[in-house]
Structure 1
Amino acid sequence: MKKTNYSYIGIAFIILVFGIIFIPRIVDRITKGDITRQESRSDYSEDNKTEALDLVFIPGSEGDRTVPEFSFTDHNGNTITNKDYEGKVYVIEFFFTTCPTICPRMNRNLVKIQSEFNDFEDFGVASFTINPDYDTPEVLKAYADNYGIINPNWHLMTGDKDAIYELANEGFYIYAAENKDVEGGFEHSGNFALIDKNGFIRSRKDKSGNPIIYYEGITSEEEQVNDEGQKEQISALKEDIKKLLNE
């Protein structure tokens, strides 16, 4: 037998021994979960998947509060209802396009959030105008284009004024009103509501253990604190969106 054949036999023997000793160990590690791989961008870590448990539900008179039923027309002329958001984590706001004060700041913050979750098909935003007489789908479309709103699950909606105000004030308890004495002719809360995939309103707790319910949407992460010394909540909102995406 040639010398080279002895070499081949030696190599084959080494491979056989490696397979007998190490392959069962590798299989065992995989079985026990020691070796993992990330399946998609929406999977952060096993630890994060449990963190959503610290996001509380908001109690109401008939159990944990959920998104009320709604049906409006969005900036693309499509009818959008609460069912279109089922299975998605999303943020809710009330605004109007001619707002000269807080709305531009709120929507710049939401655009930054949009950019962070650009690759997640189960994230969205629901924006309801409180000036539907002026904010037609065409006006909302121009507003969306101007702000760079591109997420297909971000709908800027208009419709019956009474229905919108009922949704804001009675459905979400997010204040909105027409007031000719204030700048812009309307006043409203600058808060965002966070909704989970099952339509429940969720939030983190404050230092006293009470739900914050809403997230202040005016102050940016760059500003850090608002005029009253309150810490910005956009970073907290982003953290909690991540948690719910993995719930």
Structure 2
Amino acid sequence: MAEKNKKYSLGKIITLVIILLIPGLLHLYLRQTGENIYKTLPYLGKEEIGSITKVQPFQLVNQDGESVNFPERASLTVVNFMHTDCEAFGNMMELAMDKVAKKFGKHPMVNLYSISLDSTDTPEVLKAHSDKYHLGETNWQFLTGNEKETSRIAREEFMLDGFRDTLNNEGIIHSPYIVLLDTKQQIRGYYEFYTEDEVDRLVGEMILLITEERQKRNE
């Protein structure tokens, strides 16, 4: 029986090692052998000749009332824009972010931000709103600030809609996209939150960028 348990434990360890190695080995194989199979993620954002645009630094406040200076560190960054009383999307965007946070919320190379476009979403309001997602020790934060500034950040930095509609009951309009940035704050992907395939694509492309970054650090 002891011998059988040893073999079972060894089998579990081998399986776990294989699962952890597959993404990196597959990525390396495709880069070395696939001329048209492997494609790096595109750089998105403003069209400027001879340069790749980056999301510029900004400062907001998180759900704990602490100032957050973006970028906090060189990391992959996942961002969505929201507000707590959104009737169009409800909390569906945060549920999609929660799915990502469950996989990467404690990853040392990842930061996640949900940025409110409503200045009445004070840190206290965001704290109550975010408690349902059990942020704990994760790298996911809810941010808030002056509406003009958060709207500017959405429109000018992330190329997304994000503003108060003064012609329609003062409601806030925002895009249904989650955004992925690389470690240099360059936009590498937009993903629709309400499509499961799109959220899965985000997860897969985060793994791809993490693998690329690790390879660069080891070169």
What TM-score results when the alignment is normalised by the length of structure 2?
A: 0.75
User: 8 Å contact 1:103–1:190 — kept in the other structure?
Assistant: no
Distance 1:106 1:182, change over 3 A: farther
Do the aligned partners of residues 233 and 182 (structure 1) sit closer, same or farther apart at CA in structure 2, a change above 3 Å counting? farther
Q: Is the 1:55–1:202 contact (alpha carbons within 8 Å) kept by the matching residues of 2?
A: yes
CA RMSD of aligned residues (A): 2.7
Partner of 2:3: none
The alpha-carbon deviation at position 119 of structure 1 amounts to: 4.4
Matched, 1:66 2:66: no
| Greater Rg over alpha carbons, structure | 1
The unaligned stretches of length 5 or more in structure 2 are 1-15, 32-37, 213-219
Distance 1:82 1:43, change over 3 A: farther
Supply the AA of the counterpart residue of 1:122: M
The equivalent of 1:240 in structure 2 is 205
State which of 176, 182, 186 in structure 2 corresponds to 1:196.
182
Partners of 2:104 and 2:110 within 8 A in 1:
yes
How far apart are residue 237 of structure 1 and its match? Answer: 0.8
Q: CA deviation at 1:92?
A: 1.0
Residue type of the partner of 1:120?
A: H
Match of 1:76 in 2: 64
- Percent same amino acid among aligned pairs? 23
What is residue 149 of structure 2 aligned with on the other side?
Answer: 163
Q: Shift of residue 147 of structure 1?
A: 2.8
Matches within 5 A, 1:82-231: 82-84=70-72, 86-132=73-119, 134-150=120-136, 152-179=138-165, 182=168, 185-203=171-189, 214-217=190-193, 219-221=194-196
Supply the distance in 2 between the matched residues of 1:246 and 1:236 (Cα, whole angstroms). 15
Equivalent residues, number: 188
SS at match of 1:60: coil
Quote the offset at 1:117 in angstroms. Answer: 2.1
Given that 2:106 and 2:138 are in contact with CA atoms closer than 8 Å, whether structure 1 keeps it comes out as no
Where 2:71 maps in the other structure, the secondary structure is helix
Whole-angstrom CA distance in 2 between matches of 1:42 and 1:95: 36
Residue from 8, 11, 25 that aligns with 1:46: 25
Once residues 97 and 184 of structure 1 are traced to their aligned partners in structure 2, the CA distance between those partners, rounded to angstroms, is 15
Following TM superposition, the consecutive aligned residue runs of length 4 or more in structure 1 with deviations greater than 4 angstroms are 49-53, 180-184
Q: Between Structure 1 and Structure 2, which shows a larger proportion of helix residues? A: 2
